[in-house]
């Protein structure tokens, strides 16, 4: 029971990270290898706001959202949009460059040390009888569910959201319908980055903060996105939860050292059977 709860809680976190990634992937067919590093920037932002101004990570969420949005748009405008028409390999490698740059910038500025936010509003655990519920983790899970629902509503209800979905389905038709697809691209990249920034703020309440933290989460997010289906927000949400569960249960029943190997194994098996992912089309 405890394992299932833990799995669910990390799963919701994964979902939020993966939704940002799947949005970028679906709209412009770019794999953002710097996604994990955006997460790291979000975590560090919330860490420094806490350390310097004593701002609780939960309040730094809007700041993370805005900061990462601006960063995402800037990276799209100045770097990614330039390779969109270039060879496939350049599209794959360019975000790797950004990733290496960002994570080492963090090493340079803040040293490779591990950090932890020591005291936040929500501390300790709730005793639920059969199992314990860690307060920061529970709050973070709630937060990522709410954020995911917001994204979902945003995509379905607002004009920009619908335009993003239309671009994702068929770029040329969207362009013919008068949608500025170039603008949609930069907005989607911004939102994708902003979402992972929010995830970073939530994650910073209980996870270690260090420059290379993005690598692991980024790689897992790819597996989730591909598992859920390319560009599918619902798919990413469900797959995130599945992966969280698989990771903790797999670690519990087999060997904790192999928990990430299990995640990657699931990914490989899924794409073998369904190359476009669970909810892909």
Partner 1 sequence: MKNFTAKPITIAGAVLALLLIFPLVITQTFPIHVMILVFMFGMLGVAWNIMGGYAGMFSFGQAAFFGIGAYTSSYLLIAFQVNPWIGLILGGLVAALVAAAIGYPCSNLRGHYFAIASIAFSEIVRIHFNNWSLVNAAEGITIPMMPESLANFMFHSSKLPYYYIIMAFLLIAVIVCYIVATSKMGYYFRAIKESHDVAEVLGINVVKYRLIAIMVSAFLSAMAGTFYAQYILYIDPESVMLGAISIQIVLISMLGGAGSVLGPVLGAAILVPLSETTRVMLGHKGTGVDMLIYGFLITIISVYQPQGVWEWFTRIGKKIK
Catalog residues that contact partner 1 under the rule CB under 8 A.
Answer: 25, 29, 31, 79, 82-83, 86-94, 96-108, 112, 211, 215, 219, 222-223, 226, 255, 257-258, 260-261, 264-265, 267-268, 271-272, 275
How far apart are alpha carbons 88 and 232 in whole angstroms? 22
Residue nearer to partner 1 on the CB measure, 27 or 139: 27
Query: For residue 146, how many other CB atoms are within 10 A of its CB?
Result: 11
Strand, coil or helix: what is 1? coil
**Contacts with 231 (C-beta within 8 Å, 6 or more apart), sequence order:** 22, 23, 25, 26, 27, 168, 280
Residue nearer to partner 1 on the CB measure, 197 or 229: 229
Residue nearer to partner 1 on the CB measure, 89 or 176: 89
Residue nearer to partner 1 on the CB measure, 161 or 215: 215
In this structure, are strands 132-134 and 125-127 parallel, antiparallel, or unpaired?
A: antiparallel
Supply the minimum distance, in Å, between the C-beta of residue 102 and partner 1: 8
Residue nearer to partner 1 on the CB measure, 36 or 57: 36
**Contacts with 160 (C-beta within 8 Å, 6 or more apart), sequence order:** 154, 184, 187
**Continuous H helices in the chain:** 2-28, 35-53, 61-75, 81-83, 88-110, 135-157, 159-169, 171-176, 181-203, 213-228, 233-253, 259-273
Residue nearer to partner 1 on the CB measure, 179 or 220: 220
Residue nearer to partner 1 on the CB measure, 17 or 102: 102
Supply the minimum distance, in Å, between the C-beta of residue 89 and partner 1: 6
Supply the minimum distance, in Å, between the C-beta of residue 109 and partner 1: 9
Supply the minimum distance, in Å, between the C-beta of residue 220 and partner 1: 10
| Residues 22, 231 contacting (CB under 8 angstroms) | yes
Supply the minimum distance, in Å, between the C-beta of residue 29 and partner 1: 8
| Two tokens, residue 235 | 């798919």
How far apart are alpha carbons 29 and 95 in whole angstroms? 13
Strand, coil or helix: what is 134? strand
Supply the minimum distance, in Å, between the C-beta of residue 147 and partner 1: 24
Supply the minimum distance, in Å, between the C-beta of residue 24 and partner 1: 12
């Amino acid at each position: 029971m405890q394992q299932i709860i833990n799995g669910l809680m990390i799963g919701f976190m994964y979902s939020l990270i993966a939704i940002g990634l799947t949005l970028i992937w679906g709209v412009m067919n770019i794999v953002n290898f710097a996604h994990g590093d955006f997460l790291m920037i979000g975590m560090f932002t919330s860490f420094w706001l806490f350390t310097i101004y004593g701002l609780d990570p939960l309040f730094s969420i809007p700041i993370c959202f805005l900061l990462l949005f601006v960063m995402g748009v800037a990276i799209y405008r100045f770097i990614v949009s330039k390779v969109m028409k270039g060879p496939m390999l350049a599209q794959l490698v360019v975000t790797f460059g950004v990733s290496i740059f960002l994570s080492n910038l963090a090493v340079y500025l803040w040293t490779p040390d591990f950090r932890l936010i020591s005291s936040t509003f929500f501390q300790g655990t709730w005793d639920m009888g059969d199992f314990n519920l860690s307060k920061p983790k529970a709050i973070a899970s709630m937060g990522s569910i709410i954020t995911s629902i917001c994204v979902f509503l945003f995509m379905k209800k607002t004009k920009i959201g619908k335009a993003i979905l239309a671009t994702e389905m068929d770029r040329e038709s969207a362009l013919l319908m008068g949608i500025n697809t170039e603008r949609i691209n930069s907005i989607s990249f911004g939102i994708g980055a902003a979402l992972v920034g929010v995830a970073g703020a939530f994650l910073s309440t209980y996870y270690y903060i260090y420059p290379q933290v993005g690598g692991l989460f980024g790689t897992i997010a790819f597996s989730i996105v591909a598992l859920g289906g390319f560009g599918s927000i619902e798919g990413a949400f469900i797959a995130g939860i599945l992966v969280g569960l698989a990771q903790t249960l797999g670690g519990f029943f087999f060997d904790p050292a192999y928990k990430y190997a299990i995640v990657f194994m699931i990914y490989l098996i899924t794409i073998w059977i369904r190359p476009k992912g669970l909810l892909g089309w």
